[in-house]
Amino acid sequence: MRKNLGPKTMCYPMPVYIIATYNADGTPNAMNAAWGGISEEKEISICVDSAHKTARNLVERKAFTVSMATAGTVVACDYVGIVSGNQEPDKFAKAGFHVVKSEFVDAPLIEELPMALECKVISYDQETCRLVGEIVNVCVEESVLDVNGKVDVVKLQPITYDPVNHHYLALGERVGLAFQDGKALK
Amino acid sequence: MRKNLGPKTMCYPMPVYIIATYNADGTPNAMNAAWGGISEEKEISICVDSAHKTARNLVERKAFTVSMATAGTVVACDYVGIVSGNQEPDKFAKAGFHVVKSEFVDAPLIEELPMALECKVISYDQETCRLVGEIVNVCVEESVLDVNGKVDVVKLQPITYDPVNHHYLALGERVGLAFQDGKALK
């Protein structure tokens, strides 16, 4: 028996993206976005309300990075979701984050977050809130790569947001092989 | 030390959405989309290539459902990702899926997948592939709800796609409380 929960913003998994930009004075800013996703090959789209400091920065710098929040950085990643860069100019530093300069875009990488997409703004519409970014590079700390140079999810420990229970969850064990398991039904 | 992996379509977590629509003859169709996400309050956006049978159905019926793939249905959910509805008209049945009629939209729900978003098409652009849907209802099998009527992630067992290693992963343990843990840094 199915129960109707009404029109809700609810699905699994939801991401925990940390969007980082430079402010007008060159200091870094970061915000938590537990929504959005890959919208095309090498393209990510995330709703950013025009009231956010990040929104102004996107318009001015035309660049942003998207880091994956991780199990070991939950407190910092949650903090940048509950405090506004408009009210707290030292938000980035208070989170304990340190800037790593991006080689590709005019936006900061975050030393403490080992995987990030470096993006150029394709478009940002203040009316609809839709930010579309071209992924020009993915950079990853060597410590979370496996022996073949590929991202090791167990080392990275990316997290996901549970929109119903307001929890952050780790990713769990492997339950299947994509493009493989379904062949059994062919 | 960070390693540059280049411009890749790679982030964590990525979803495993099963998009279901009705074909012109009233039979059901389903496809696997391991990308896209919530684009606004009560709105989901997913790139659907115009070559997909689903694309034609979206234009004609103006509706779709998005079910969460689960650990227990990996084989079926992978199958609808590797077989085309254009080549295999019985795709939905061969996956072992059964239709449940939606009360809200002109698109099928899938009996075997306990959580789904029922969506009306707001827009679909064949050029850009962008499908935008209004979430008019979320329906969930009672068996995956907790005693308070809320989705229990441990019972639902939604999965996520690892784009680097092409694995399906379960969601794991709770590692934090959203809107709470960050207060420690305030």
Structure ipTM: 0.96
B11 vs A116: CA distance, rounded Å:
8
pLDDT of the residue at A121: 98
B138 closest CB neighbour out of A10, A41, A149? A10
pLDDT of the residue at A50: 95
If contacts are CB pairs under 8 Å, which of residues 67-126 in chain A contact chain B? 68, 71, 74-83, 94-96, 100, 103-104, 109, 115, 117
Q: Sorting pLDDT into bands at 50, 70 and 90, what band is B6? A: very high
pLDDT of the residue at A102: 98
pLDDT of the residue at A13: 98
> For A49-69, what is each residue's pLDDT tens digit?
999 999 999 999 999 999 999
Asked if B37's CB is within 8 angstroms of A15's CB, the reply is yes
B167 closest CB neighbour out of A13, A39, A178? A178
Q: Which of B27, B15, B98 is nearest to B56 (CA)?
A: B27
| Cβ–Cβ < 8 Å for A154, A146 | no
Asked if A169's CB is within 8 angstroms of B175's CB, the reply is yes
In chain A, which residues have pLDDT < 70?
A: none
Q: What percent of chain B has pLDDT over 90?
A: 98
Question: Which alpha helices (H) appear in B49-142, and where do they start and end?
Answer: 53-61, 74-82, 91-94
Q: What six digits make up the tokens of B64?
A: 């779709």
Q: What is the mean pLDDT of chain B?
A: 97
List CB contacts (< 8 A) between A126 and chain B. none
Asked if B7's CB is within 8 angstroms of A139's CB, the reply is no
Q: Which of A73, A71, A59, A58 is nearest to A19 (CA)?
A: A58
Asked if A167's CB is within 8 angstroms of B176's CB, the reply is yes
pLDDT of the residue at B133: 98
If contacts are CB pairs under 8 Å, which of residues 31-50 in chain A contact chain B? 34-45, 47
Residues 6+ apart with CB under 8 A from B19: B30, B31, B32, B33, B46, B48, B54, B64, B65, B66
List CB contacts (< 8 A) between B102 and chain A. none
B34 vs B161: CA distance, rounded Å:
6
Asked if A8's CB is within 8 angstroms of B42's CB, the reply is yes
> For B77-118, what is each residue's pLDDT tens digit?
999 999 998 999 899 999 999 999 999 999 999 999 999 999
Measured between CA atoms, the residue of chain A closest to residue B83 is A186
| Cβ–Cβ < 8 Å for A74, B175 | yes
Three-state secondary-structure class, residue A109:
strand
User: Where does chain A show beta strands of DSSP type E?
Assistant: 2-4, 17-22, 28-33, 37-40, 43-47, 63-68, 99-101, 108-110, 115-124, 130-141, 159-162, 167-177
Global pTM value: 0.97
Asked if A77's CB is within 8 angstroms of B44's CB, the reply is no
pLDDT of the residue at B142: 97
Q: Sorting pLDDT into bands at 50, 70 and 90, what band is B62? A: very high
| Cβ–Cβ < 8 Å for B74, B168 | yes
A44 vs B35: CA distance, rounded Å:
10
Angular region, A42: left φ>0, alpha ψ -120 to 50, beta rest: left
> For B126-147, what is each residue's pLDDT tens digit?
999 999 999 999 999 999 999 9
Measured between CA atoms, the residue of chain A closest to residue B78 is A182
pLDDT of the residue at B71: 98
Could you give the C-alpha distances from B41 to A36, A66, B45, B63, in angstroms and in order? Answer: 11, 21, 11, 18
> For A171-180, what is each residue's pLDDT tens digit?
999 999 999 9
Q: Does B162 touch chain A (CB under 8 A)?
A: yes
